[in-house]
A and B are shown apart, each in its own frame.
Chain A
C-alpha cells in the first residue's frame, strides 16, 4: 500500500480548498461560484476522510456522507436560486446584483 504522509494529504486538501476560494473570489458568474463552493466543500470532506483514515475511525466517513447530503441539498437550492436570479435580473454577473447594500 502506497503510504503518503498525512501532511501531504492535508496539504492537498488545503490546495483544493484555496483553489475553490480563489474561484469563488475571481469568478463573477454565479454558476461558477457555486461550483467553486462545491470544490471547497469537497476539500473539507477530503480532510474528514484523511482524518478517518489516519485514526482508523469511521466517524470521518460518516461525516463525509453527511456533507455529501448537505451539498446535494445546497446545490439543489443554490441552482434554484440562480435560476430565479437569472429570471429576475437577466444576468448571472454577481457584481451587477448588488442589491444587498440597500
Chain B
C-alpha cells in the first residue's frame, strides 16, 4: 500500500513529460485537465496512503522505498529513495491537496494566456520536485528537489517572459536562493564527510552520538544548513527576492511563494532538528531571525500599495513565525502553522488573483475599492482569509496555530519575554495590515470597474480553502481549551516534543492577550483605513512609510554592496587581462622588429661603416687578448 508513495511524485512528473512532449498537439482543455488531474490523483493517493499509514503505524514510525541506486562511488552511496513519516505526510498532503485546488483554479485563471500548456508543465514539475524534496530519504535527493523547486520558481516568476522586469525578478529569486543553497551544499559535504552517509535518519543518529552539544562542527554545519533554509524561506537577510517574485501569475504566488516552496526551509530545519538541537546557538539565532523577520516584514506589509506585495510581505512575516517556533523548539507548532498558513495564504493569493484579473491587471489597492458588492464570493472568502491571517480569536484556524507559537515563544525553555513580545507586536501588525487590505480594497467607493465575473473553476477552490481556513484549526486545540492534540500527536511521531517551563497555568492569560491584540489590530485598521483620519494620510506620505514600503532598504544596500561591485568587476576586465599579457608578447616581438629594422635603411655607406666598426671591434678583441 505504502509503495504507492512512489506514484505521488511520479504522477506530476509524468504529466509534466506528457505536456512537454505532446503539449503542442493537445487542446488547452485536455492539457489543463491532465495537469490538474495528475495532481488530483496524487492527492487521492496521498489520502489513501496517509490513512493506511496512520491506521497501522509501523514500528519505525516511517516507511522507506528504495527505487534505484543513484550513486555508488567509493564509500559514497545515495539512492533515489523515498521515506514517509508523519512530517512528510503533512507536507505531501498540503502540497498535493492545495496544489490540486490551485491547479483547478489555474485552468480558469490562465484560460486566455499564451503558453497555457507551458504553465501547467512548469507547475507539474514544481509539484513533483516539491514532493521529492519532502519525501527524500537522503539529503542529496532532497537537494535535488530543493534545486528543482528553485528552477520551477525561476521559470514561473519569469513566466511572462516578454517583460524584462519579470526576468529580473526571476533571476533575483534564483540567485539569492542559490546563495543559500550553496551554503547548504557545503553543510551537506561536512555531514557526509563526518558520517559517511547521506541518509537523513542515519545522519541524525550519528550526529547525536558523535557530536557534542555546541561543538564547533555542529554549529558550523547547522549554520550552513540554516543558510539554505533562509534563502528558500525568504528570511532575513535573504528575504528580498520574495516581494519581487510576485511578478509571476497569481496561482504561482499562491502555490510556490506562499503555500509550499517558501516553507521548504521550515521543513529542512524540522527534518534535521537533531542537528539544530546540537547547536543551541544556531537555534537561538533562528528564533531571533524569525522574530526580526516577522517584524520587518510586518512593517513593510503595512506600507505596500500592491495587493500581491502586501501578501508577499505577509508571507515572509508568517514564515518568520514558523522560524520563531522552530527556534524555540516548538516543531509541531511550526508545522501546524505551516499547514494553516498554506490554506489561508493560498486562499488570499487566489482571491487577490481574481481581483487583479477582473480589474484588468490592476495591482494598486488604492485604485480598487468598493469591490464588496461587485464580487461577493471573492469578498467573503478574502475576508475569511484575512480574518484567519490576523488570527481572529476562536473561529479562525490561524488563531490556534499562531497562538501556539506565541505561547511556546514564551514558555519554551529557550523562549522568553522578548521573543514573545516581538511575536505579539507582529500579531498586531498582521491584524492591522490584513484589514487595511480589506477596508481599502473592498470597502469605500469603487474606483475601477470589474470587467467580468470569475467562473466556478476559480471560485470553488476559494470556497474550499476558506472552509479549511476556518475548520483547519480545530484539529489542534490548546491545553487550556479543549486540550485536543490530534495534529501534534501525529507530527510528534517524528519530531521531538517541546520542553516548556513550568508556567502552564498562565496559558489562558497569554491567549487572552493575543486575542485582544488581534482584535485591537482589526479595530485600529477600521479606524485608520475605513474612517481615514488625517494623520494616517500624513503618515502615508512620510519618509518612514516610504522606508517601510521599500522593505527597510535591503535592496538598496545589497545593490551597493554586491550587485554594483560584481557588475563593476565584470565590466572592468571584460577583455581579460591575461589576453593583454599575451598580446603584449606579440607586441614586444613587433616592437623589436621595428627597432632592428632601423638599421636596415638601405644606405650602402651606413652598412659599410657598421662593417668597418665590426671589424675594428673584432680586431681590438683579438689584439688585446
Which A positions have Cβ atoms within 8 angstroms of B?
Answer: 21, 24-25, 28, 33, 94-95, 97-102
How far is it, in angstroms, between the C-alpha of A73 and the C-alpha of B605 when the chains are bound? 23
Contact B601 A28 (CB under 8 A): no
Contact A25 B608 (CB under 8 A): yes
How far is it, in angstroms, between the C-alpha of A101 and the C-alpha of B602 when the chains are bound? 4
A-B pairs, top 9 by smallest CB distance, nearest first, are A98-B602, A101-B602, A100-B602, A94-B604, A101-B600, A98-B603, A101-B601, A25-B609, A95-B603
Instruction: List, in ascending order, chain A residues with CB within 8 A of B499's CB.
Output: none
Contact of A102 among B602, B603, B604, B605 (CB under 8 A): B602
Instruction: Report, as a range, how many residues of chain B touch the other chain.
Output: 10 to 19
How far is it, in angstroms, between the C-alpha of A94 and the C-alpha of B601 when the chains are bound? 12
Contact A97 B612 (CB under 8 A): no
How far is it, in angstroms, between the C-alpha of A102 and the C-alpha of B600 when the chains are bound? 8
Q: Assuming the A-B contacts A21-B612, A25-B612, are A94 and B605 also in contact, with contact meaning beta carbons closer than 8 angstroms in the complex?
A: yes
Q: What distance in Å separates the Cβ of A27 from its nearest Cβ neighbour in chain B?
A: 8
If A24-B605, A25-B605 are given as contacts, then 12 extra A-B residue pairs at C-beta distance below 8 Å, sorted by A number, are A25-B609, A33-B605, A94-B603, A94-B604, A95-B603, A97-B602, A97-B604, A98-B601, A98-B602, A98-B603, A101-B601, A102-B602
**Which partner residue on chain B sits nearest A26 by CB separation?**
B605
How far is it, in angstroms, between the C-alpha of A97 and the C-alpha of B602 when the chains are bound? 8
Instruction: List, in ascending order, chain A residues with CB within 8 A of B603's CB.
Output: 94-95, 98
Contacting residues of chain B (574-625) with chain A, CB-CB under 8 angstroms: 597, 600-605, 608-609, 612
How far is it, in angstroms, between the C-alpha of A98 and the C-alpha of B603 when the chains are bound? 5
Q: What distance in Å separates the Cβ of B60 from its nearest Cβ neighbour in chain A?
A: 92
Instruction: List, in ascending order, chain A residues with CB within 8 A of B604's CB.
Output: 33, 94-95, 97-98, 100
Q: What distance in Å separates the Cβ of A11 from its nearest Cβ neighbour in chain B?
A: 15
Q: What distance in Å separates the Cβ of B594 from its nearest Cβ neighbour in chain A?
A: 13
Instruction: List, in ascending order, chain A residues with CB within 8 A of B605's CB.
Output: 24-25, 28, 33, 94-95
What are 29 sample pairs from A and B whose C-beta atoms fall under 8 A apart? A24-B605, A24-B608, A25-B605, A25-B608, A25-B609, A28-B605, A33-B604, A33-B605, A94-B603, A94-B604, A94-B605, A95-B603, A95-B604, A95-B605, A97-B602, A97-B604, A98-B601, A98-B602, A98-B603, A98-B604, A99-B602, A100-B600, A100-B602, A100-B604, A101-B597, A101-B600, A101-B601, A101-B602, A102-B602
Q: What distance in Å separates the Cβ of A102 from its nearest Cβ neighbour in chain B?
A: 7
Q: What distance in Å separates the Cβ of A16 from its nearest Cβ neighbour in chain B?
A: 15
Instruction: List, in ascending order, chain A residues with CB within 8 A of B609's CB.
Output: 25
**Which partner residue on chain B sits nearest A24 by CB separation?**
B608
Contacting residues of chain B (302-333) with chain A, CB-CB under 8 angstroms: none
Instruction: List, in ascending order, chain B residues with CB within 8 A of A95's CB.
Output: 603-605
How far is it, in angstroms, between the C-alpha of A33 and the C-alpha of B612 when the chains are bound? 15
Instruction: List, in ascending order, chain A residues with CB within 8 A of B601's CB.
Output: 98, 101
How far is it, in angstroms, between the C-alpha of A100 and the C-alpha of B607 when the chains are bound? 11
**Which partner residue on chain A sits nearest B597 by CB separation?**
A101
How far is it, in angstroms, between the C-alpha of A99 and the C-alpha of B603 when the chains are bound? 8
Instruction: List, in ascending order, chain A residues with CB within 8 A of B597's CB.
Output: 101
Q: What distance in Å separates the Cβ of A72 from its nearest Cβ neighbour in chain B?
A: 23
Instruction: List, in ascending order, chain A residues with CB within 8 A of B612's CB.
Output: 21, 25
How far is it, in angstroms, between the C-alpha of A46 and the C-alpha of B601 when the chains are bound? 34
Instruction: List, in ascending order, chain A residues with CB within 8 A of B602's CB.
Output: 97-102
**Which partner residue on chain B sits nearest A99 by CB separation?**
B602
How far is it, in angstroms, between the C-alpha of A102 and the C-alpha of B597 when the chains are bound? 10
**Which partner residue on chain A sits nearest B612 by CB separation?**
A21
Instruction: List, in ascending order, chain B residues with CB within 8 A of A98's CB.
Output: 601-604
Of A28, A33, A95, most B-chain CB atoms within 10 Å? A95
Q: What distance in Å separates the Cβ of B173 from its nearest Cβ neighbour in chain A?
A: 66
Q: What distance in Å separates the Cβ of B197 from its nearest Cβ neighbour in chain A?
A: 77
Instruction: List, in ascending order, chain A residues with CB within 8 A of B608's CB.
Output: 24-25
Q: What distance in Å separates the Cβ of B108 from its nearest Cβ neighbour in chain A?
A: 83
Q: What distance in Å separates the Cβ of B599 from its nearest Cβ neighbour in chain A?
A: 9
Of A24, A28, A97, A102, most B-chain CB atoms within 10 Å? A24
Instruction: List, in ascending order, chain B residues with CB within 8 A of A100's CB.
Output: 600, 602, 604
Instruction: List, in ascending order, chain B residues with CB within 8 A of A97's CB.
Output: 602, 604
How far is it, in angstroms, between the C-alpha of A99 and the C-alpha of B601 when the chains are bound? 9
**Which partner residue on chain B sits nearest A102 by CB separation?**
B602
Q: What distance in Å separates the Cβ of A21 from its nearest Cβ neighbour in chain B?
A: 6
How far is it, in angstroms, between the C-alpha of A100 and the C-alpha of B602 when the chains are bound? 4
Of A99, A101, A102, most B-chain CB atoms within 10 Å? A101
**Which partner residue on chain A sits nearest B600 by CB separation?**
A101
Contacting residues of chain B (282-308) with chain A, CB-CB under 8 angstroms: none
Contacting residues of chain B (452-506) with chain A, CB-CB under 8 angstroms: none
Q: What distance in Å separates the Cβ of A57 from its nearest Cβ neighbour in chain B?
A: 25
Instruction: List, in ascending order, chain B residues with CB within 8 A of A21's CB.
Output: 612
Q: B60-84 interface mask toward A, CB cutoff 8 Å, 1 = contact, 0 = none?
A: 0000000000000000000000000
Of A25, A28, A99, A102, most B-chain CB atoms within 10 Å? A25
Q: B146-178 interface mask toward A, CB cutoff 8 Å, 1 = contact, 0 = none?
A: 000000000000000000000000000000000
How far is it, in angstroms, between the C-alpha of A54 and the C-alpha of B604 when the chains are bound? 37
Q: What distance in Å separates the Cβ of B379 from its nearest Cβ neighbour in chain A?
A: 93
Q: What distance in Å separates the Cβ of A98 from its nearest Cβ neighbour in chain B?
A: 3
Instruction: List, in ascending order, chain B residues with CB within 8 A of A25's CB.
Output: 605, 608-609, 612
